């Protein structure tokens, strides 16, 4: 991975605050803080780090000396997705670290889709983990949070003690049904139409998916206008769909590590996600550390299971950690 830690500076939320829309430098936007005021259930203090010249936002809640749980969101969500889980986990004594990917949430937003490569997001999240000096980490990843985070785990294995994956995968371009009728390819085609139009309805997509109109504004909050949406727009196109696709070779290398992975590994997929259905079986059958674990299917939830069954997923994570002590 690229090493950005030498260029990384922790920045206090007070010094980093801004009240106006801000192009912090050509091609990089920063969402005004006012957009994040009074979001339902999201009363967490912001924390920031400077990674590769971008301000990265992350939540850091719970006891400072608690075991660390790193939770990474995907597309097109942000750390708001974990708001129901954080209080459950911190009440159990764990320290929760929940970043926003660059281009999402309260993190800076490069306006060029070219910036948002798979490798860019792996490198910058790995740099954040290194800068925060996280060790003995339990990683939790969903959607792109898994695609990115599993690479970070595999390439920095000494920092991670356990893994929980939910509705995600680690595609190599050879293990996905890429027929035009597959749920993923239908989503990819719909996303390309959004790119052609220059906008993606972030809030509407998630609100419709979870059946809760009240969350729409929160998932729209990071994006005052479509110019902020380069990351959400392009990421579905970055999923490796062929053996020579960018990221496919690196994912195959990560799988070689996971096929030898002895540390505890848990799947907690939902029963209502067409895109990742069956992906949990691949993890269970391929990873030694998954053997004998209490793999769980979260019932009554779709792709964004943190929204629909967040408290239940948090309890699954707590039980997993307690069953697999350091």
Annotated catalytic sites, by residue? 143, 273, 303
Query: pLDDT tens across 158-176, in order?
Result: 999 999 999 999 999 886 5
What pLDDT, on a 0 to 100 scale, did the predictor assign at position 228? Answer: 98
What pLDDT, on a 0 to 100 scale, did the predictor assign at position 21? Answer: 54
Spatial neighbors of 284 by CB under 8 A, at least 6 apart, are 267, 290, 295
Query: pLDDT tens across 209-263, in order?
Result: 999 999 999 999 999 999 999 999 999 999 999 999 999 999 999 999 999 999 9
Tokens 């004594």, residue located: 93
Q: Would you list the domain boundaries of the chain?
A: 5-323
Q: Are 225 and 232 in contact (CB under 8 A)?
A: no
| pLDDT for residue 97 is more than 80 | yes
Widest pairwise Cα distance in the chain: 52
Q: For the chain, what is the mean pLDDT? A: 93
Spatial neighbors of 282 by CB under 8 A, at least 6 apart, are 169, 175
What pLDDT, on a 0 to 100 scale, did the predictor assign at position 104? Answer: 98
Q: What is the pTM of this model?
A: 0.93
Topology of domain 5-323, CATH: Rossmann fold (3.40.50)
CA–CA separation, 278 vs 280, rounded Å?
5
Query: pLDDT tens across 197-213, in order?
Result: 999 999 999 999 999 99
CA–CA separation, 68 vs 58, rounded Å?
14
What pLDDT, on a 0 to 100 scale, did the predictor assign at position 14? Answer: 32
Query: pLDDT tens across 260-293, in order?
Result: 999 999 999 999 999 999 999 999 999 999 999 9
pLDDT class of 22 with cuts at 50, 70, 90? confident
């Amino acid at each position: 991975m690229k090493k950005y830690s030498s260029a990384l500076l922790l920045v206090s939320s007070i010094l980093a605050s801004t009240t106006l829309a801000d192009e912090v430098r050509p091609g990089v936007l920063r969402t005004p803080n006012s957009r994040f005021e009074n979001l339902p259930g999201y009363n967490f203090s912001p924390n920031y780090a400077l990674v590769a010249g971008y301000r990265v936002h992350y939540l850091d809640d719970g006891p400072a000396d608690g075991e660390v749980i790193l939770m990474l969101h995907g597309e097109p969500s942000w750390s708001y997705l974990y708001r129901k889980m954080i209080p459950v986990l911190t009440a159990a004594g764990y320290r929760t670290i929940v970043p926003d990917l660059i281009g999402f949430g309260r993190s800076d937003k490069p306006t060029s889709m070219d910036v948002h490569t798979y490798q860019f997001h792996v490198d910058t999240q790995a740099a954040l983990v290194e800068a925060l000096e996280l060790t003995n980490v339990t990683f939790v990843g969903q959607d792109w949070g898994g695609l990115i985070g599993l690479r970070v785990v595999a390439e920095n294995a000494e920092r991670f003690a356990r893994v929980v994956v939910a509705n995600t995968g680690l595609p190599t371009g050879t293990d996905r049904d890429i027929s035009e009728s597959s749920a993923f390819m239908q989503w990819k085609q719909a996303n390309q139409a959004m790119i052609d139009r220059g906008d993606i309805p972030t809030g509407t997509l998630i609100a419709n998916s979870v059946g809760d109109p009240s969350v729409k504004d929160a998932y729209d909050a990071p994006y005052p206008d479509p110019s902020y949406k380069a990351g959400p727009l392009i990421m579905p196109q970055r999923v490796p769909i062929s053996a020579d696709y960018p990221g496919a070779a690196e994912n195959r290398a990560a799988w070689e590590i996971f096929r030898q992975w002895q540390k505890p590994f848990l799947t907690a997929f939902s029963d209502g996600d067409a895109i990742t259905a069956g992906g949990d079986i691949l993890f269970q059958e391929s990873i030694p550390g998954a053997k004998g674990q209490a793999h769980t299917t979260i019932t009554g939830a779709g792709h964004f299971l943190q929204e629909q069954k967040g408290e239940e997923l948090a309890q699954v994570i707590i039980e997993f950690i307690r069953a697999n002590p350091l």
